[in-house]
Amino acid sequence: MVDTVTLIYGDKQIELPVLRGTEGDPAIDVSQLRARTGMITYDPSLANTGICQSQITFIDGERGILRYRGIPIEQFTAKPNFVEVVWLLIFGRLPNKEELAEFSELLTENELVHEGIKYQFQRIPVDAPPMAILSAIVTSLAFYHQQFLAVEDRESIVQAAARLISKVRTIAAFACRRSQGLPFIYPDPKLRYCANFLHMMFSIPYRQYEITPEVEDALNLLFILHADHEQNCSTSTVRLVGSARANLFASCAAGVCALWGPLHGGANVEVIQMLERIRDGGLSAEDCLRHAKDKDNPFRLYGFGHRVYRNFDPRATILKAACERVFAQMNRNDPLLDIARKLEELALADPYFVERQLYPNVDFYSGILLRAIGIPTNMFTVCFAIGRLPGWIAQWKEQHIDPTSRILRPRQVYAGPPESRYVPIDQR
Ligand code: ACO
């Protein structure tokens, strides 16, 4: 164990302190590097750069470990309760019964969206991508909740977080209904968080959707498995935007936009489209692997690989088992699950994937579970966003109340032309 590392450059040298996380993971503190040497570090995809110290989520990518506030993810699966995990992530410990009941009540009180938002929906084209709708409407929550644009005390953060967590599922369900030309179904205060989302998604004015415990549990589990994943692309985006002291709504809307990308949360849609192409005969599992390995082909084996996990992604393992369980409980089958199993088996035996330590990630099986619940494919990434929202809020809050936090402002290595002269247009 070292406390410092020595940087030798030319005839000079400096000592750089080494920080250690609670699990012993070391980090060279380069925060004074430029001031002391005039140099910066170069790490274009930030793969070697810690941007903060955080107490929220721990990942050990080599050992396939994921913990929320110290609790292994597997321990939330027996009786999955998303709202409990929301509280844990945002407030730092498990809630007691009263705290959980109080917070659930707050979510119920805030489940409606302002009528103005309902009218906004009427102006959105019916074929608009739901992630575009989600980011736009999350931003526009700032129109109607201006008292939470500057939140400094704990109570205001609780109130703003409850509004976001509660309303996001109403917004998501309305976005889905709009795309299907169906009437909006208002939330039902008697229903719990996930049951209420299912009701708004699937009830129709003359027929109440029947919620089964298996489906409600599956959705709770799915949201929990997506709830936080430390400094991933969307969460870092939330922190970056929030570091400028942008409000919680704006910061989380930016997170939605980042999540939309196919290399991040959008991968769950790509996975299902890939599996459907295999099912429909347009592509074979072997073709998929061949295209994924071809460096001249932009195709990727979606749902495989991860920046941090060099071993199995524990979320994928849990989701695969949940798929098997839910299909057995529903007495149903999905050919896409068989295709996914086969594709996984082929990839895990292929030297390309073995050498690069590429394993199924959370997106490989999540779409199959969402399909089993009846969620349309264009809503998969929206469901990921509902699940990830407590993580974004927790990370935003952690940064916001940290008195030492500064605006995030990376540097660059300029590689453009040297100084040159402006040439007037008639001389070019
Ligand atoms: N298919 C084919 N090749 C891959 C894949 C894949 N899914 N993932 C990584 N690789 C290759 C890379 O091209 C690279 O090859 P090289 O060494 O010959 O250049 C090698 O494996 C190592 O790649 P990494 O450095 O591990 O990948 P990186 O950290 O840059 O990207 C990412 C991680 C974006 C997740 C990548 O694995 C990927 O594109 N996967 C498919 C998309 C996906 O499933 N995204 C969801 C991720 S989980 C989440 O965001 C919720």
Q: Is the pLDDT of residue 28 over 90?
A: yes
Q: Which atom of ligand 1 is nearest to the CA of 384?
A: 51
The CA-atom distances, in angstroms, between 47 and each of 50, 97, 268, 306 are 8, 40, 23, 11
Spatial strand order in the sheet of 65-68: 57-60, 65-68, 71-72
The finding on whether 264 has its CB within 6 A of some atom of ligand 1 is yes
Q: How confident is the model at residue 212 (pLDDT cuts 50, 70, 90)?
A: very high
Task: Give the per-residue SS3 of 92-136.
Answer: CCCCCHHHHHHHHHHHHHCCCCCHHHHHHHHCCCCCCCHHHHHHH
Q: Is the pLDDT of residue 150 over 90?
A: no
In terms of pTM, does the model score above 0.85?
A: yes
Instruction: Give distance in angstroms: CA of 304 to centre of ligand 1.
Output: 7
Q: How confident is the model at residue 394 (pLDDT cuts 50, 70, 90)?
A: very high
Q: Which atom of ligand 1 is nearest to the CA of 313?
A: 48
Provide the pLDDT for residue 333: 86
Instruction: Give distance in angstroms: CA of 171 to centre of ligand 1.
Output: 32
DSSP string, 328-368: HHHT---HHHHHHHHHHHHHHTSHHHHHTT--B-HHHHHHH
Catalytic residue among 228, 306, 334, 350: 306
The finding on whether 396 has its CB within 6 A of some atom of ligand 1 is no
Provide the pLDDT for residue 6: 97
User: pLDDT tens digits, residue range 262-272?
Assistant: 999 999 999 99
Percentage of residues of the chain with pLDDT beyond 90:
92
User: pLDDT tens digits, residue range 324-366?
Assistant: 998 888 888 889 999 999 999 999 999 999 999 999 999 999 9
What is the chain's mean pLDDT, rounded?
A: 95
Q: Where are the alpha helices (DSSP H) in 145-261?
A: 154-180, 193-202, 213-226, 233-243, 248-259
Provide the pLDDT for residue 360: 93
- Measure the CA–CA gap between 153 and 87, rounded to whole angstroms: 17
- Measure the CA–CA gap between 123 and 40, rounded to whole angstroms: 48
Provide the pLDDT for residue 16: 97
Instruction: Give distance in angstroms: CA of 287 to centre of ligand 1.
Output: 18
* Kind plus residue range of the DSSP H or E element containing 84: helix 82-91
User: pLDDT tens digits, residue range 280-313?
Assistant: 988 899 999 999 999 999 999 999 999 999 888 9
Q: How confident is the model at residue 402 (pLDDT cuts 50, 70, 90)?
A: very high
